[in-house]
Structure 1
Amino acid sequence: MPSSDTRRRILIVEDEPTIAMSIAARLEAEGYDTRVVGDGLTAVDAAEEYRPEALVLDVMLPGIDGLEVCRRVQAARPVAVLMLTARDDETDMLVGLGVGADDYLTKPFSMRELTARVSALLRRVGRTAPAERPPALRVGDVEIDRTERRVRRDTAEVHLTATEFDLLVRLATRPRVVHTREQLLGEVWGHTAAAGIRTVDSHVRALRRKLGDGIIRTVHGVGYALECPQ
């Protein structure tokens, strides 16, 4: 097993000790370095000191909740976040995505599913920049700089989370082509679990809020396509 200096760091924020220790044990067995904290304020401090590459973050926490933890951590620096919720609640999902979460798991979940989601998030974080600077993508008044990972609309910068950006790029590289939810889940999130379909829908809603309702077309019963204004 790699030393703790080379293993990828994951901060687990969960106030139920049995669940937290189970998650840590499974991720350690997969070769990750982990740290466990049980409340929101400690999590914010630990994220600054430990500098994890990913957070496994429960929504319901003592002190401040997981949504506020996510907001504060992401304000300091970008971190991949897998949120855990005891409720299959669309509102929780939308708020979580709005503060920078990348993916969701609803309790109860299998450890196999959790490790697959974490692995997929970290593969995305580890993607290297291309040797040559790719040209910017333009869709109407939206410009996408893939090298600097910036998006502008009418020259004003639009802040997107890492996952929102990756989803937008995936759609923009093949405009007008209809992508199924399953395709997007596999290509952007790196897994095809049926429970993730709602995550795709929620990220599309987030992009529409930030870039305008008309930028992504819903093809009912199939998926989504990026519109290209004439």
Structure 2
Amino acid sequence: MPELGAGERDCVTKPFRIAEVLARVKVLLRDVDGSGPARRGGTLDHVDLVLDDGTCRAHRGGRTLDLTPAEYRLLRHLLVNARKVLSKEQISRYVWGEFRGDNAIEQLVSRLRRKVDRGGPALIRTRRGFGYWLGELSGPR
């Protein structure tokens, strides 16, 4: 397991995608400057959304989210890049390792949005013509 932080702070297992390694390095760098989502132990959180990389589980407002592996990867990518607009191509390459030009991203985002945003304020947003982002109503950076 290649380690990316001090101790057991962050690691990736083989086989891995370069996009995942780069995303994790970005998280570690963001932890240093404080601009990213809050990170405690093996978890990432934003508002009342918590992602636990140790157990590969997500919770929102105390409710466990039943996510597929692709939904989990998408949510993690949105969370790591909270308040930044991600293009469909960026998302597709992170989630599947390749660009899928059909409506696969729209379907995946729709399924994830139903699970994450149910019973609470919407966190997963669309920026028409640009992509998707995770954050409150104040808008992306």
| TM-score tier after normalising by the smaller chain length | 0.5 to 0.7
Q: What is the SS of the residue equivalent to 2:64?
A: strand
Q: Contact 1:175–1:228 at 8 Å: present in 2 too?
A: no
Q: Contact 1:139–1:229 at 8 Å: present in 2 too?
A: no
Larger Rg: 1
**1:158 alignment counterpart:** 65
- Compute the displacement of 1:139 (Å): 1.8
**1:217 alignment counterpart:** 125
User: 4+ residue stretches of structure 1 with deviation over 6 A?
Assistant: none
CA distance in 1, matches of 2:14, 2:105: 18
Distance change in 2, residues 1:172/1:223 (3 Å): same
**1:201 alignment counterpart:** 106
CA distance in 2, matches of 1:168, 1:135: 15
Percent identical residues: 30
CA distance in 1, matches of 2:137, 2:54: 24
**2:87 alignment counterpart:** 180
CA distance in 2, matches of 1:212, 1:175: 15
- 1:149 is the counterpart of 2:60: no
Structure 1 unmatched ranges of 5 or more: 1-123
Q: Which has the higher helix share?
A: 1
Q: Contact 1:180–1:224 at 8 Å: present in 2 too?
A: yes
- Compute the displacement of 1:205 (Å): 0.6
**1:227 alignment counterpart:** 135
CA distance in 2, matches of 1:154, 1:185: 28
Structure 2 unmatched ranges of 5 or more: 1-12, 22-39
TM-score by length of 2: 0.63
Q: Contact 1:134–1:147 at 8 Å: present in 2 too?
A: no
Partner amino acid, structure 2, of 1:139: H
- Compute the displacement of 1:224 (Å): 0.3
Structure with higher RCO (Cα < 8 A, 6+ apart)? 2
Partner amino acid, structure 2, of 1:174: N
Q: CA RMSD in A?
A: 2.7
